[in-house]
């Protein structure tokens, strides 16, 4: 993508959280003008090269050519539409990227899903996500809309090392039950690739999930190995279930494997962290370079 085309872009990122900040930072380093929204301007700090505005600032849409939305819907629907529908429809947008979740597929008993698999959400929060997807996809008659269905997000500051260091990590054993995950930096790379790529009007489903779905117990064991400490003892799923929160039980109630083969081909990229192993090694190396405790 040439400098002239990049200089013509104004990216608005709704929600500078864990993923949104990484997306905004990478886009700014690529030469794109980036504005990001936060709930509390007084408590927020901007990634380098990113302008901050309040979430309720409708003026931020006025010059936005590209939009990334990371905010989840609530019981009353998508908060961006609720507050900014008029500004959204009037904005000179050419592309929208909406971060959704692979939860819209519901439970598949461990079977694979790909970008063409029809969604079938089982959880109320996943049904809200699908409703939000459909709302954003409705703009596809005039612009490109990419629906990024993300697996479990991890990265610096959000990973298995912290629980191990705190002594609170558990290894729940449930044979055959795996989860997909994706490193935050691979999310940013994929979103930027989509933003900079060919943008034909219409919705498109993209998967942000690494190449190796794995059981959480395997991830915890690998993190312990990298730290040079014994892994926590395994506990049976039945034993763990008794003490799980409602959210934890919903997390374990679904089992699916998510393929991103079509997404990587469409975007022309491979994951920097194709499995949790590469991701954990990179995170630990970064932590140690910054002087984090062992």
The pTM (predicted TM-score) of the whole model is 0.95
Q: pLDDT at position 90, please?
A: 96
Report the percentage of the chain scoring pLDDT > 70. Answer: 97
So what's the pLDDT on residue 198? 74
Write out pLDDT tens, residues 234-274: 999 999 999 999 999 999 999 999 999 999 999 999 999 99
Length reported for the chain: 294
pLDDT value at position 5? 67
Domains and CATH numbers, the chain: 3-158+182-212+258-273 (3.40.50.720)
Q: What is the pLDDT of residue 199?
A: 78
- The arithmetic mean of pLDDT across residues 181-207, rounded, is 95
Q: What is the pLDDT confidence band of residue 45, given thresholds at 50, 70 and 90?
A: confident
Higher pLDDT, 225 or 46: 225
pLDDT digits (tens, 9 = 90+) for 62-83: 999 999 999 999 999 999 999 9
7 band by pLDDT with thresholds 50, 70 and 90: confident
* pLDDT tens figures, 92-134: 999 999 999 999 999 999 999 999 999 999 999 999 999 999 9
- At residue 43, the pLDDT reads 86
- What does the pLDDT read at residue 1? 45
């Amino acid at each position: 993508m040439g400098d002239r085309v990049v200089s013509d872009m104004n990216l608005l990122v709704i929600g500078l959280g864990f993923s949104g900040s990484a997306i905004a930072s990478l886009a700014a380093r690529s030469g794109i003008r980036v504005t990001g929204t936060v709930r509390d301007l007084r408590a927020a700090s901007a990634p380098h090269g990113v302008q901050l505005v309040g979430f309720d600032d409708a003026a931020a849409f006025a010059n936005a050519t590209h939009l990334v939305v990371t905010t989840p819907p609530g019981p009353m629907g998508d908060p961006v539409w609720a507050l900014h529908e008029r500004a959204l429809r009037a904005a000179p947008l050419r592309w929208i990227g909406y971060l959704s979740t692979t939860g819209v597929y519901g439970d598949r008993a461990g079977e694979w899903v790909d970008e063409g698999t029809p969604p079938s959400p089982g959880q109320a929060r996943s049904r809200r996500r699908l409703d939000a997807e459909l709302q954003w996809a409705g703009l596809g008659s005039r612009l490109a809309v990419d629906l990024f269905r993300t697996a479990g997000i991890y990265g610096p500051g959000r990973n298995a090392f912290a629980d191990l260091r705190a002594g609170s990590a558990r290894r729940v054993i449930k044979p055959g039950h795996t989860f997909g995950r994706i490193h935050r930096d691979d999310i940013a790379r994929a979103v930027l690739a989509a933003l900079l790529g060919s943008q034909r009007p219409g919705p498109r489903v993209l998967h942000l999930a690494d190449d190796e779905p794995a059981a959480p117990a395997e991830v915890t064991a690998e993190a312990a190995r990298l730290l040079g400490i014994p892994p926590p003892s395994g506990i049976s799923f039945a034993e763990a279930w008794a003490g799980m929160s409602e959210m934890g039980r919903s997390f374990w109630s679904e089992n699916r494997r998510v393929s991103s083969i079509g997404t990587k081909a469409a975007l022309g990229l491979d994951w920097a962290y194709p499995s949790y192993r590469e991701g954990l090694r990179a995170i630990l190396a970064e932590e140690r370079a910054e002087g984090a405790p062992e």
